């Protein structure tokens, strides 16, 4: 017996798989770039192995909830909600860092290249926002 509509559960599950794989791929790239000493490649910073490990945690949280969400179980949805909150917090922290760098630039300290500032943390946060809306559609009728 399912706790919510399995149709939307499958949609959320596929979205979570995509997000989880993106987080794994970029997290692995961050770690490889740090360990190999290559440095920044495109928008992926090469000095952030700890961030890469945190990306693995976010990916694991998303991927753990996929089976339950596809089956329409709240147990799986709780992992997806947790993964979304981790994405949200990590993305907002990086957006605040970008804001701080912009203020420093306005005050005349350092340079500010906006395209360098938008790291994968920000892009994945933006990609995860519609996922939050889908989860909100499922949880709006829940009794907490």
Q: Assess whether pLDDT exceeds 90 at residue 54.
A: yes
Mean pLDDT of the chain: 87
For residue 130, the enclosing domain spans 6-139
Classify residue 31: in a domain, yes or no: yes
Please report the pLDDT score of residue 137 as a whole number. Answer: 85
Mean pLDDT of all residues in 73-101: 91
If we measure between CA atoms, which residue out of 50, 83, 55 comes closest to residue 69? Answer: 83
Q: Assess whether pLDDT exceeds 80 at residue 143.
A: no
Classify residue 93: in a domain, yes or no: yes
Number of domains within the chain:
1
């Amino acid at each position: 017996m399912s706790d919510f509509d399995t149709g939307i559960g499958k949609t959320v599950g596929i979205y979570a798989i995509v997000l989880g794989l993106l987080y794994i791929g970029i997290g692995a790239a961050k770690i490889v770039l740090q360990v190999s000493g290559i440095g920044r490649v495109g928008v992926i910073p090469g000095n952030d192995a700890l961030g890469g490990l945190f990306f693995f945690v976010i990916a694991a949280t998303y991927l753990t909830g996929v089976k339950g969400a596809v089956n329409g179980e709240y147990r799986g949805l709780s992992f997806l909600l947790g993964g979304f909150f981790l994405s949200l917090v990590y993305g907002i922290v990086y957006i605040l860092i970008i804001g701080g760098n912009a203020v420093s630039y306005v005050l005349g300290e350092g340079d500010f290249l906006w395209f360098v500032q938008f790291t994968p943390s920000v892009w994945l946060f933006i990609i995860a926002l519609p996922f939050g809306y889908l989860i909100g559609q499922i949880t709006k009728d829940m009794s907490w």
